[in-house]
Amino acid sequence: MSAVPGLPARLAAAALLILSPLALAAEGPLPVRLVEAARGEEVRLEAGAAALHVFFFAVWCEPCLRQLPQLAETEDRWRDAGYRLVLVGVPERQSAERLARFAAESAPPGEVLFDASGEASRAFSVERIPEHVLLDSGGRVVARGPVPEAVGDDAIRRALPSGPAREERAP
């Protein structure tokens, strides 16, 4: 019997509140529906890539655009190991047409998709941009953060099913 009335019930409720997000994170945010920016076709982003890097951004977001060269280097370094980079344009103040124009003119790394409905932003609990999320082949979140380093080489190694598949290339 507890010395404080109702304590076991309060502890159980607190544990549920604390553990619920962990259970959701274990399941992962995928699949989600997005729009392929260049063709305007709906696509389904699903688990499967050995390491899936989802970068939430906007074409009007200068910090987002400054990160693209680093993302291109990461993609070049890890592509052969099963790394996949997906740039997801958030729906605030942009359109599929604006993203398609950006993709055609800038040739950014990865695949450019548009979160027209906001479904992906909600599923991934994106509250700000830039936001990077790295998932393993089962669709579980391995790492996340506002800068590429948050989902960098160490996190990619953890996401890959066989561990470190490939080290950085020397110049």
The reply to whether 17 falls in a domain is no
Residue appearing with tokens 């160490």: 154
The reply to whether 148 falls in a domain is yes
The reply to whether 113 falls in a domain is yes
The reply to whether 112 falls in a domain is yes
The reply to whether 126 falls in a domain is yes
Dihedral sign from CA coordinates of 26, 129, 164, 108: positive
CATH number at residue 57: 3.40.30.10
pLDDT at 99 over 80: yes
The reply to whether 52 falls in a domain is yes
Residues 134, 148, 62, CA angle at the centre, nearest 5°? 120
pLDDT given at position 68:
98
**33-89 per-position pLDDT tens digit:** 999 888 889 989 998 889 999 999 999 999 999 999 999 999 999 999 999 999 999
The parent domain of residue 92 ranges over: 29-159
More confident residue, 8 or 149: 149
Q: Are 50 and 111 in contact (CB under 8 A)?
A: no
Whole-prediction pTM value?
0.79
In angstroms, what CA-CA distances link 135 with 5, 7, 16, 47, 63?
A: 43, 38, 24, 8, 22
pLDDT given at position 131:
98
Reading the block at residue 33, the tokens are 């529906």
pLDDT at 26 over 70: no
Number of domains in the chain: 1
If you average pLDDT over residues 116-144, what whole number do you get?
96
pLDDT given at position 40:
86
The reply to whether 88 falls in a domain is yes
